[in-house]
C-alpha cells in the first residue's frame, strides 16, 4: 500500500520539477512542498510495515523531516521577493 503512495509522491515531485523548469518556480516549489507534506501525512497514518519506501527511520523522525521540509519550501516560495531580471 505504501508503495502506491510513494509513487504518487514521486509523480507529483516530477510534475513539480517540470513546472519549475518551465519558468513558474514558485508554483513548482509549492507543489514539491505539498508532495512532502502529503508524504508526511501518509507516513504518519500507515504502519511501518505498510509504509513502503516512505519508512526510512522511526515514524516520528520521518514525519518531522518531511513536514518540516515541505512547510519550509512552501513558506520560502511565498516569502522570497521578486527580483528584477
Domain boundaries, the chain: 2-78
CB atoms within 10 A of CB 77: 17
Residue 77: which residues within 8 A CB-CB, separation 6 or more? 25, 26, 29, 30, 33
Reported as type and span, the H/E element at residue 38 is helix 25-45
Per-residue pLDDT of the chain (85 residues; tens, 9 = 90+): 767 888 999 999 999 999 999 988 999 999 999 999 999 999 999 888 887 788 888 889 999 999 999 999 999 999 998 877 6
Does residue 51 contact residue 3 with C-beta atoms inside 8 Å?
no
Angle, nearest 10°, between helix axes 2-21 and 25-45? 170
Q: Report if pTM > 0.85.
A: yes
Using an 8 Å Cβ cutoff, are 28 and 16 in contact? yes
Amino acid at each position: 500500500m505504501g508503495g502506491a503512495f510513494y509513487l504518487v509522491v514521486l509523480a507529483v515531485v516530477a510534475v513539480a520539477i517540470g513546472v519549475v523548469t518551465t519558468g513558474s518556480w514558485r508554483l513548482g516549489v509549492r507543489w514539491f512542498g505539498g508532495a512532502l507534506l502529503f508524504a508526511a501525512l501518509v507516513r504518519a497514518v500507515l504502519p511501518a510495515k505498510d509504509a513502503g519506501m516512505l519508512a526510512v527511520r522511526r515514524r516520528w523522525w520521518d514525519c518531522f523531516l518531511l513536514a518540516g521540509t515541505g512547510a519550509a519550501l512552501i513558506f520560502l516560495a511565498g516569502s522570497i521577493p521578486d527580483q528584477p531580471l
